[in-house]
Structure 1
């Protein structure tokens, strides 16, 4: 960024206001910036949407030289650079998408001191040629984004991150900052050790995202459930739907599109060109739904994703938290919704058992899955359980399904004993093992070809569970599996008694179960929200506006869309919805007044100020 040599040095707050258009720092931002700008190392744990990028962008502007940003997100670097250039920051990237002559030009800019920030992938940074290049440049700092990727036991391990420990020796006088939004205490320790940042100051913010409403519901024709969610609460809004398999991704995207929901598929099996096109459309168009595997999403800086839905059970709470965290980066009310059932548990356990990992790897994967199941089946606040997994205490949130509609519990000890007895009798007396369907048939005394052939009607447990329906028994089985009282093993998910079954069978432990939830069309909003959940969608941020103001807001959105198309950038790079709401509420009559609105920095004011005032004038005149 060009600053006249005669001008006094910028302060962090000056840059925040003049460049980014914000008047004050949030949380630990100021302390982190002060630490890194002063030459110290920092390890930063901050939730998605908490403003992590400012923690290295502002120090890079304050210190002489170029800030190097290590990121695994090659596909997003161009957009990240474009967003910085939009506010007047000199930025570039070095990655495999550049032609040799383009890469050489960027290198010359670096050596000439013409860049404020330079992005590169970890595999490029640790190459001897790159280290030599950086040794000849003046470096302001080194930022390691998505630093949890260095953890071998984490959900997002990237082997190339292991090589970043070389930075400690190669650039001992250059401050380093490692940042992540997803880390348990164990991952935090491993991250610090592997990056050799033992001398760093640590800044751990609350992982709470109060604007996100967490909801988990039993599967009951999940695509239909998803469609109801979108139509009743998020019509016309951007969202991400996660599926376990590539086939499910494609089928779900087609199914939604056939029902007039604009949806695109994204998975690693698609051609790189198609993936890039779909990602670009998702970022730059309003109201698209991306149906994807976990190959999609890390680093997606789209602030107006209003919902993240899971049609299959995630492997871990870390993965779930990171994926749901892509909703509501702008702080507006958003939904994290998931449908899950017994088959999800069977599938995930099979994937673990069939994996080529070591026994230690499999034990770790099973513990991650067990924690995920506990979150799904909790009868207390989901947010308390979620944050507790990351070692953070909290209170009941009032903005998750278990708070808004507390589950009814009942004494399921006898029901648990009946299921365990049926599993044991089939194994001992018939030397047979079955999945959940046949176990439930035995408990209900339901005749079938398999039951008749195997003489199940002769067992003492035949028909002893007719007080519950098939749906209720499936709920019981799912909850018992989550608690380790029952286990589903093998390719076919046959049921066996689990490690926690003994005390239950002996009557030494009481089993408290929750009544299965009936899927609800929509939920009310709790704390941290700006209003009700449903309605026409498209402009969730505008719910606080009065009717006449909403028309002005929509006029500004239409103007923003035309500008974004002309510049071929995502609309949020022009202005966020939250900033447009601020403009409507402030109703500025001059560019000076417009410049006081949060999110309107100096460069954007100069570039768009007169146009915004013209839109406001036309809208108010109309």
Structure 2
């Protein structure tokens, strides 16, 4: 625990109110800030949206000297620069695209910066270390710290070169921050950055405002269009390939919504323009590969959809965590298919042999998540070592419990057909054999003489595809390069009667009225005209300042203004999220708007 004095704690609360407009800390922010102010190095594992940046920005406003922030992406730095400057902090970045390099260095040397953002590639260079010796340093903050670990899902080798820099300033505390780190990754971060084990603070991984929905992909375009109709706010759709991104973006744009693509194959200027448009928008959809997202600190993303299987639960958690950072309701939809698992298992067979067991374990964890009939959130949180309640009340399985049927016998029939036909045919052919269909190819091969011919009656035949999908997800069935099924995993054990298959049967979708669907995704659920007017004013001020609307105020702040209708600057300053700098810059304009109502 930290050992700061009551006076310092009061100073921190005072600065929190003055700079950020908040009367109290959230979650473990208090613990993290207290350790930093006490000069203690810390690794904080906090879920996305829990206010990680505040844990170094607030000390930067209080301590003499500059907080040096190591961040992996220029876009992420610039997002946080905008927010810091809007709150009255003196912040700058040293990157390849910042043209004020000499001015920034001069301000840094003169102690005029609260925050200096820098990429790990530059931070690990000797010339930067030499620059640091000429300026007062208050704190090193290492953002997205999971990048330091080979166990992490976003490993960046340059992060592992930071230790000598940090050790050159032993008196300066270190604060490492991440939203995604399992036990192995946490231990590696502590070791790589030289932070003691008692410096670990874990806030938990739960994002209760995100509704998790996972369903088999039957018509991705139709399913995604339904999601866009439900959710009018900004959203991200992840597609697995560049071609898939381009195609899906074009198809979704036909619905009239502004939809843009983002992937590494686009020219840099197009990527930058599309990203800037998304950040500034209040309703745009970005279709992207996973190259998009880490550099986005946009708090009002209302949904994240995966059009295919993510690479891991860690990746899924991080990507879905880009929704609802403002604390308002958000949706995470995953569409998956058996072919996703087939491709993933093929990729695993091509990686170095020593990595294959851990990669298989990650894929099996995903299979458990998509096939579970129980609470999705509980499965996610248990993966990160937590002990959640059995139900959460805000995932598809908790809201509409699926059925579970014992499909073991049908699974054995399918596996037996795969084996007896030579482990070379796809599901379409195997269905014909199992249902006894009159088919020339079946009779020509003599497969109508097999014991498995015609053993699946009509009422069972409808379950063959869901059974095959479930068996592929768990690796019991694998595919060859031609798409034919082969036995894998626990297939032989299942055939011997040593296992079972419980098949999840999704409930029939409930009809939802258009009005109710719209209300769920609207930031103004009660239809207050003042709220809409305040959003319009925010949009106007954002355009004048050249920043995204959320940098001015979050929707939650505007809702409080509309509900409380403050009459004076003092009343307005009492609303959470209205700090001194924003009150001075925007207070009169918002009061004028409110007086009109």
Q: Structure 1 length as normaliser, TM-score?
A: 0.91
Asked whether the equivalents of residues 424 and 480 of structure 2 are also in contact (C-alpha less than 8 Å), the reply is no
SS in 1 for 2:455: coil
Partner of 1:4: none
Q: Please state if 1:25 is matched with 2:3.
A: no
Partner of 1:57: 57
| Displacement after TM superposition at 1:489 (Å) | 3.7
Partner of 1:196: 194
Partner of 2:575: 597
> What does 1:85-124 align with in structure 2 at a 5 Å threshold?
85-99=85-99, 102-124=100-122
SS in 1 for 2:140: strand
SS in 2 for 1:393: coil
Partner of 2:410: 415
Partner of 2:4: none
| Displacement after TM superposition at 1:444 (Å) | 2.6
SS in 2 for 1:264: strand
| Displacement after TM superposition at 1:219 (Å) | 1.1
In the alignment, the residues of structure 2 paired with residue 568 and residue 515 of structure 1 have an alpha-carbon distance, to the nearest angstrom, of: 50
Partner of 1:404: 399
Asked whether the equivalents of residues 229 and 521 of structure 1 are also in contact (C-alpha less than 8 Å), the reply is no
Asked whether the equivalents of residues 228 and 521 of structure 1 are also in contact (C-alpha less than 8 Å), the reply is no
Q: Please state if 1:376 is matched with 2:370.
A: yes
Q: Please state if 1:47 is matched with 2:38.
A: no
CA deviations over 1:550-586 (Å, ceiling 9, x no partner)? 1000000011111111211100001100000011111
In the alignment, the residues of structure 2 paired with residue 185 and residue 390 of structure 1 have an alpha-carbon distance, to the nearest angstrom, of: 8
Partner of 1:609: 587
> What does 1:105-504 align with in structure 2 at a 5 Å threshold?
105-198=103-196, 201-231=199-229, 233-234=230-231, 236-354=232-350, 357-395=351-389, 396-427=391-422, 432-448=423-439, 450-468=441-459, 472-484=463-475, 486-504=476-494
SS in 2 for 1:11: helix
Asked whether the equivalents of residues 41 and 199 of structure 1 are also in contact (C-alpha less than 8 Å), the reply is no
CA deviations over 1:54-94 (Å, ceiling 9, x no partner)? 11111222221100101001123223212111110000001
CA deviations over 1:295-353 (Å, ceiling 9, x no partner)? 00014111111111111000100000001011111111110011111111112222333
Partner of 1:534: 517
Partner of 1:71: 71
> What does 1:506-517 align with in structure 2 at a 5 Å threshold?
506-517=496-507
In the alignment, the residues of structure 2 paired with residue 17 and residue 370 of structure 1 have an alpha-carbon distance, to the nearest angstrom, of: 46
| Displacement after TM superposition at 1:452 (Å) | 4.5
Pair 445,104 (structure 1): closer, same or farther in 2 beyond 3 Å: farther
In the alignment, the residues of structure 1 paired with residue 482 and residue 301 of structure 2 have an alpha-carbon distance, to the nearest angstrom, of: 37
SS in 1 for 2:349: helix
In the alignment, the residues of structure 2 paired with residue 522 and residue 494 of structure 1 have an alpha-carbon distance, to the nearest angstrom, of: 40
In the alignment, the residues of structure 1 paired with residue 483 and residue 344 of structure 2 have an alpha-carbon distance, to the nearest angstrom, of: 10
Asked whether the equivalents of residues 218 and 519 of structure 1 are also in contact (C-alpha less than 8 Å), the reply is no
Q: Structure 2 length as normaliser, TM-score?
A: 0.95
Question: Structure 1 stretch 329-338 or stretch 471-480: which is displaced more?
Answer: 471-480
Asked whether the equivalents of residues 214 and 370 of structure 2 are also in contact (C-alpha less than 8 Å), the reply is yes
SS in 1 for 2:195: coil
Q: Please state if 1:551 is matched with 2:546.
A: no
SS in 2 for 1:43: strand
Pair 523,599 (structure 1): closer, same or farther in 2 beyond 3 Å: farther
Asked whether the equivalents of residues 9 and 34 of structure 2 are also in contact (C-alpha less than 8 Å), the reply is no
Asked whether the equivalents of residues 302 and 521 of structure 2 are also in contact (C-alpha less than 8 Å), the reply is no
| Displacement after TM superposition at 1:538 (Å) | 6.6
| Displacement after TM superposition at 1:98 (Å) | 2.5
SS in 1 for 2:162: helix
SS in 1 for 2:251: helix
| Displacement after TM superposition at 1:137 (Å) | 1.5
| Displacement after TM superposition at 1:454 (Å) | 3.2
| Displacement after TM superposition at 1:521 (Å) | 6.1
SS in 2 for 1:535: helix
| Displacement after TM superposition at 1:498 (Å) | 2.8
| Displacement after TM superposition at 1:199 (Å) | 5.2
Question: Structure 1 stretch 588-597 or stretch 474-483: which is displaced more?
Answer: 474-483
Asked whether the equivalents of residues 217 and 517 of structure 1 are also in contact (C-alpha less than 8 Å), the reply is no
Asked whether the equivalents of residues 79 and 296 of structure 2 are also in contact (C-alpha less than 8 Å), the reply is no
Question: Structure 1 stretch 456-465 or stretch 35-44: which is displaced more?
Answer: 456-465
Structure 2 runs not aligned, ≥5 long:
1-7
In the alignment, the residues of structure 2 paired with residue 193 and residue 533 of structure 1 have an alpha-carbon distance, to the nearest angstrom, of: 50
Asked whether the equivalents of residues 400 and 507 of structure 2 are also in contact (C-alpha less than 8 Å), the reply is no
Pair 361,509 (structure 1): closer, same or farther in 2 beyond 3 Å: closer
> Post-superposition, which runs of at least 4 consecutive aligned residues in structure 1 deviate over 6 A?
none
Structure 1 runs not aligned, ≥5 long:
1-7, 525-531
Task: State how many pairs are aligned.
Answer: 589
Asked whether the equivalents of residues 237 and 537 of structure 1 are also in contact (C-alpha less than 8 Å), the reply is no
| CA-based RMSD | 2.0
| Displacement after TM superposition at 1:483 (Å) | 3.1
Pair 189,136 (structure 1): closer, same or farther in 2 beyond 3 Å: same
| Displacement after TM superposition at 1:440 (Å) | 2.9
Asked whether the equivalents of residues 229 and 522 of structure 1 are also in contact (C-alpha less than 8 Å), the reply is no
Asked whether the equivalents of residues 304 and 329 of structure 1 are also in contact (C-alpha less than 8 Å), the reply is yes
